[in-house]
Amino acid sequence: MARVAVLVDEMTEDDEFLVPCERLRSAGHEPVVVGLAKGKKLTALHGTEITTDQAVDDVAAADFDAVVVPGGYSPDKIRTSEPMVALVRETAAAGKPVAAVCHGPWLLAESGLARGRTVTSWPSLRTDLRNAGAEWVDREVVTDDGVITSRNPDDLPAFCDALLEHLK
């Protein structure tokens, strides 16, 4: 069973949080909701109530087998947190999967993981990711050296399949 950090703050895209967590649980894995503070009550974009399990300051990449970054407006906030950025960077450096959907790839840009990789995202991030050194493509899911990206909630089945494949 893998422990997977799911990085969130206010205004996470509901389905991009809920669907990967459910798919992880169904496959026998443990999603751990990591936020800026432990026990923080958050409201997702469409009203889902989320409570964080752990504060990013209290965890390390060694605690997890992968990281998931849902989209919405949350990634824009958490990319300004150096501990969040470090968790993403260190997880990838340890050879563990980092999966980001929609606006989640902002953390890939901030952490330096976009550089030299092919990625996808919500279309409005295309220029940001290219400026961060990535090759941006418009595809349902892209996997490049352990970094998994998708564009939007419609891509979640393929996104989750790719993540679960990497956790085997």
Q: For the segment 119-130, what is each residue's pLDDT rounded down to a tens digit?
A: 999 999 999 999
Residue 111, token pair as written in the block: 């952490």
Model-wide pTM > 0.95: yes
Instruction: Check residue 114 and give its pLDDT.
Output: 97
Q: Over the stretch 10-30, which tens digit does the pLDDT of each residue have?
A: 999 999 999 999 999 999 999
Just give the CATH number of 3-167: 3.40.50.880
Helix (H) or strand (E) holding 107: helix 106-111
Model confidence at 137, pLDDT cuts 50, 70, 90, reads very high
Domain ranges of the chain: 3-167
Amino acid at 1: M
Strands of 70-165, DSSP E: 98-101, 118-119, 135-136, 141-144, 147-150
Q: Annotated active-site positions, please?
A: 102
User: Measured between alpha carbons, how far is residue 129 from residues 41, 54, 68, 143 in Å?
Assistant: 30, 29, 18, 15
Q: Over the stretch 19-61, which tens digit does the pLDDT of each residue have?
A: 999 999 999 999 999 999 999 999 999 999 999 999 999 999 9
The C-alpha angle with vertex 53 and arms to 11 and 111, in degrees rounded to 5, equals 60
Summary mean pLDDT of the chain: 97
Instruction: Check residue 48 and give its pLDDT.
Output: 96
Q: Over the stretch 72-110, which tens digit does the pLDDT of each residue have?
A: 999 999 999 999 999 999 999 999 999 999 999 999 999
Mean per-residue pLDDT, 136-142: 98
Model confidence at 157, pLDDT cuts 50, 70, 90, reads very high
